[in-house]
Amino acid sequence: MKKFNMSYCTLCPRECGADRTAESRSKTGAGLAEGRRAEPAGFCGGGPSVKLARAELHYWEEPCISGSNGSGAVFFSGCPLKCRFCQNYRISDGNFGAEITTRRLSEIFLELQQKGAHNINLVSPTHYVPWITEALDMVKGKLYIPVVYNSGGYESVSTIRLLEGYIDVYMPDLKYMSPYMSNRYSSAPDYFERASEAIPEMYRQTGPVVFDEHGILRRGLIVRHLVIPGGVSDSVSLFNWLYKAIPAENILVSVMSQFTPCHRSPEYPEINRRVTPSEYETIAETVRRYGFRGYFQEADSAREEYTPPFDLTGI
């Protein structure tokens, strides 16, 4: 982790300056009862060690990611966004998980490969980038499947640049253009500003999408967009920007209908409902008009049953 100063964390755009060194734990943990640990200081919930909630084959990603064998999904605890409507809120906002060593993380990558995973799918990895790159260095020459960076899109370009050579497929969300919406639902008024810088950098690193003979994505960029109730005009504006920013024929997009009122959604009446067919189709038609290739999620995907069990499997 020589490239990162973890005594003052600036991995995500919040740049909260949390001290995430092992020394910080020993200092803040002074006087705690035996067996207890000091709470991490960062907004994301990240401390000095990797924390995971699950590492297992996952079959509910886009077909070019999950394939027939499943994606090797590694779910990191905590999150720099903590969206009010997050379906994975138990681990993103609740920070549920178990701490492991970087060596153990590298072993998990190889174990998922041994199980037949098409790729290593790093889910919400932003706040653990230094540990991830170190673990990938440990398995260099042994890990031959693609590495997927699956994030909320709220990224610092400086962090993404340090991932060059480690990541084969970037799969960011592109959630909001409106600062009002991104502040209201994710406390990140600068979301679009940061995502619109980071996503072109991701594309610069990967170039156009490349598939293997089985249709599995080996390299490239997939931009995901979750349709939010009442957010049609914002969604249309996002795809208008994306069309101008990156050649449509060189990337994939995934338009998701799975918005499910959960977590803190009841506190926001305007989004405390499912997306209507009309809302979803308006956005889908925009995507088709611009000539993007990719995926449209079925309406019945808006169910909490599709959230994986966060039970420390594979940790």
Does the residue 281 lie in any domain?
yes
- pLDDT value at residue 98: 97
- pLDDT value at residue 41: 61
Residues 266-289 have a mean pLDDT of: 96
- pLDDT value at residue 243: 98
CB-based contacts of 121: which residues, under 8 Å, 6+ apart?
A: 58, 61, 65, 71, 72, 73, 74, 148, 150
Q: Is the pLDDT of residue 288 over 80?
A: yes
pLDDT averaged over every residue in the chain: 92
CB-based contacts of 87: which residues, under 8 Å, 6+ apart?
A: 258, 260, 262, 263, 304, 306, 307
Number of domains in the chain: 1
- pLDDT value at residue 31: 37
CA distance 74 to 108: 9
Residues 280-288 have a mean pLDDT of: 96
Residue with tokens 């996002």: 238
Does the residue 212 lie in any domain?
yes
Residues 105-130 have a mean pLDDT of: 98
Residue with tokens 């980038």: 129
Residue 185, amino acid:
Y
User: Does residue 291 sit in helix, strand or coil?
Assistant: coil
- pLDDT value at residue 5: 83
pLDDT band at 34 (very low <50, low <70, confident <90, very high): very low
CA-based nearest residue to 153, from 188, 205, 118, 184: 188
- pLDDT (tens digit per residue) in 204-227: 999 999 999 999 999 999 999 999
- pLDDT value at residue 298: 79
Does the residue 25 lie in any domain?
no
- pLDDT value at residue 35: 37
Does the residue 314 lie in any domain?
no
Does the residue 169 lie in any domain?
yes
Helix axes 191-206 and 179-186, enclosed angle (nearest 10): 100
- pLDDT value at residue 4: 76
Q: Is the pLDDT of residue 192 over 70?
A: yes
Residue with tokens 């799975």: 258
Token pair recorded at residue 309:
């069990």
Does the residue 176 lie in any domain?
yes
- CB neighbours of residue 295 within 10 Å: 17
- pLDDT value at residue 29: 46
**71-76/120-123 β-pairing:** parallel
Residues 125-136 have a mean pLDDT of: 98
- pLDDT value at residue 189: 98
Residues 270-297 have a mean pLDDT of: 96
- pLDDT (tens digit per residue) in 258-274: 999 999 999 999 999 99
Partnered with residue 55 across adjacent β-strands are 74
Partnered with residue 147 across adjacent β-strands are 120
Per the structure, the complete domain to which residue 219 belongs is given by 50-306
- pLDDT value at residue 229: 97
Does the residue 107 lie in any domain?
yes
Do 219 and 176 touch, CB atoms closer than 8 A? no
CB-based contacts of 97: which residues, under 8 Å, 6+ apart?
A: 51, 52, 53, 75, 76, 77, 78, 91, 310, 312, 315
- pLDDT value at residue 36: 36
Partnered with residue 223 across adjacent β-strands are 253
pTM of the complete model: 0.94
- pLDDT value at residue 305: 57
Q: Which CA distances in Å does 294 have to 104, 264, 269, 297?
A: 35, 30, 31, 10
Would you give the end-to-end CA distance of the chain in angstroms?
22
- CB neighbours of residue 41 within 10 Å: 16
- pLDDT value at residue 301: 56
pLDDT band at 300 (very low <50, low <70, confident <90, very high): low
Q: Is the pLDDT of residue 40 over 70?
A: no
Q: Is the pLDDT of residue 38 over 50?
A: no
Does the residue 7 lie in any domain?
no
- pLDDT value at residue 211: 98
Q: Is the pLDDT of residue 247 over 70?
A: yes
Residues 27-49 have a mean pLDDT of: 61
Q: Is the pLDDT of residue 117 over 70?
A: yes
- pLDDT value at residue 151: 98
- pLDDT value at residue 214: 95
CATH of the domain at 203: 3.20.20.70
